[in-house]
Amino acid sequence: MQLGDRGGKEANMSLGAVLRSARRPIAVAVTAGALTALGLGTLMGLALPQASISQKGREFHPGSVSIKRGDTVRIVNDDGDLLHHVYIDAGKFSFDSGDQEPGSKTDITFPVAGDYDVLCAIHPKMKLVVHVQ
Ligand SMILES: [Cu+2]
């Protein structure tokens, strides 16, 4: 049978039937994909940050951290109603978070060894030093 032989209504019903029958396999595929991504992320060290820094009172807590090359630092804006905006401009590595809403989490992975100043574009006195070994 050719598709053109069907009425519009029948074609819609057929589509619905296809979606209903396909829903379970699609859900299983998505779950398997998510688990695979999670496993890969864990293997590659992407799933969990190796250090966590809090932005509170217009300061970074703690103000410095030492990590290994390839590690990820998570920066959490714990300042109730303040925006922050971290950036790194170090030549061999740069980063810009954009505006960080209160409660938001920003993950920065450092691929190159060195010492980095993480600054806030909104509060010039805010400074976090990241030592990457
Ligand atoms: Cu700030």
**What is the 49 CA–ligand 1 centroid distance (Å)?**
21
Give pLDDT, residue 22: 54
Cβ pair 81, 110 in contact under 8 A: no
Phi, psi dihedral angles at 132 (to 5 degrees): -110, 115
- Give the pLDDT score at 8: 46
C-beta separation of 127 from 117 below 8 A = yes
Mean pLDDT (10-residue bins), the chain, 133 residues: 49 54 53 51 64 98 98 97 97 95 97 97 98 97
**pLDDT the model gives residue 25:** 54
- How much distance in Å is there from the Cα of 70 to the middle of ligand 1? 25
CA 30 to ligand 1 centroid distance, Å: 38
Residue with tokens 């053109």: 4
Q: How far is CA 14 from CA 11, 22, 24, in A?
A: 5, 12, 17
Helix (H) or strand (E) holding 92: none
Please choose, from the candidates 91, 85, 124, the residue with its C-alpha nearest in 3D space to the C-alpha of residue 104: 85
pLDDT at 92: 86
Segment holding 7, helix H or strand E: none
Phi, psi values for residue 29, rounded to 5°? -65, -40
What's the CA-to-centroid distance between 82 and ligand 1, angstroms? Answer: 8
Instruction: Provide the residue count of the chain.
Output: 133
Residue 58 Cα, ligand 1 centroid: separation in angstroms?
6
Q: Cα(27)–Cα(30) distance, rounded to whole angstroms? A: 5
Distance 95 CA to ligand 1 centre (A): 15
Global pTM reads: 0.66
Q: Are strands 94-96 and 86-89 parallel, antiparallel or unpaired?
A: antiparallel
Reduced to 3 states (helix: H, G, I; strand: E, B; else coil), residue 113 is: coil
- Tell how far the Cα of 99 is from the centroid of ligand 1, in angstroms: 9
